[in-house]
Amino acid sequence: MKLRYKIILSLILITAFSFYSFQTKSNLSISNPKFYQTENVIVLIIDGPRFSETFGDSTHENIPHLFKEIAPAGVLFHNFKNNGTTTTVSGHTAITTGNYQNLKNNGLDFPRNPSFFQYFLKKTNLTKDQAWIISSKGKLNILSNAKTKKWKDTYSPMSYCGIKGSGVSYENDNTTWIDVKRILANYHPKLMLINLLEVDVRAHENDWKGYIKALKNTDEKAFELFNLINTDNHYKGKTTLIITNDHGRHLNGHKNGFVNHGDKCEGCKHIYCIGIGPDFKKNYKSNTNYELIDISKTISELLYFDMPTSKGKIMTELFLDSK
For 215-219, the CB contacts below 8 A with 24+ separation are 215/49, 215/53, 215/54, 215/62, 215/63, 216/62, 216/63, 216/64, 217/173, 218/46, 218/49, 218/173, 219/62, 219/63, 219/64, 219/65, 219/66
Q: What angle do CA 292, 190, 160 make, to 5 degrees?
A: 75
Q: Which of residues 128-187 bind Zn ion (CB under 5 A)?
A: none
- Range in contact with Zn ion (rule: CB under 5 A) among 2-10, 219-227, 261-269, 310-318: 261-269
* Residue 255 CB, nearest approach to Zn ion (Å): 7
250 binds Zn ion (CB under 5 A): yes
Closest separation in Å from C-beta 188 to Zn ion:
28
- 126 lies in the binding site for Zn ion (CB under 5 A): no
Residue closer to Zn ion (CB basis): 47 or 291? 47
Give yes or no for a contact between 304 and 276, defined as CB atoms under 8 angstroms apart. Answer: no
Strands 284-286 and 270-276: unpaired
244 within 8 A of 50, measured Cβ to Cβ: no
Nearest to 101 by CA among 119, 79, 86: 86
Total site size for Zn ion, rule CB under 5 A: 9
State the minimum distance, in angstroms, from the CB of residue 250 to Zn ion.
4
Dist CA 186 CA 129 (whole Å)? 10
Specify the residue, 202 or 297, whose C-beta has the smaller distance to Zn ion: 202
Q: Which is nearer to Zn ion, 93 or 130 (CB)?
A: 93
The interface region with Zn ion, picked from 41-49, 95-103, 108-116, 234-242 by CB under 5 A, is: 41-49
Residue 268 as a binder of Zn ion (CB under 5 A): the answer is: yes
Scanning 88-96, 144-152, 180-188, 221-229 for contacts with Zn ion by CB under 5 A, the matching segment is 88-96
DSSP helix/strand/coil, 309: coil
* Closer Cβ to Zn ion, 168 or 265, answer by number: 265
Select the span of 2-10, 17-25, 105-113, 242-250 touching Zn ion (CB under 5 A): 242-250
Closest CB to Zn ion among residues 136, 300: 136
> Is residue 48 involved in binding Zn ion (CB under 5 A)?
yes
Q: Which of 38, 44, 45, 47 binds Zn ion (CB under 5 A)?
A: 47
Residues 103/85, Cβ–Cβ less than 8 Å: yes
Angle at 98 between CA 177 and CA 96, to 5 degrees: 20
Task: Kindly identify the residues of this chain, within the stretch 190-219, that bind Zn ion according to CB under 5 A.
Answer: 200
Q: How far apart are CA 44 and CA 132, in angstroms?
A: 12
CB closer to Zn ion, 34 vs 104: 104
Task: Name which position in 88, 115, 217, 244 contacts Zn ion (CB under 5 A).
Answer: 88
Contact 247, 268 (CB under 8 A): yes
Site of interaction with Zn ion (CB under 5 A): 47-48, 88, 200, 246, 250, 263, 265, 268
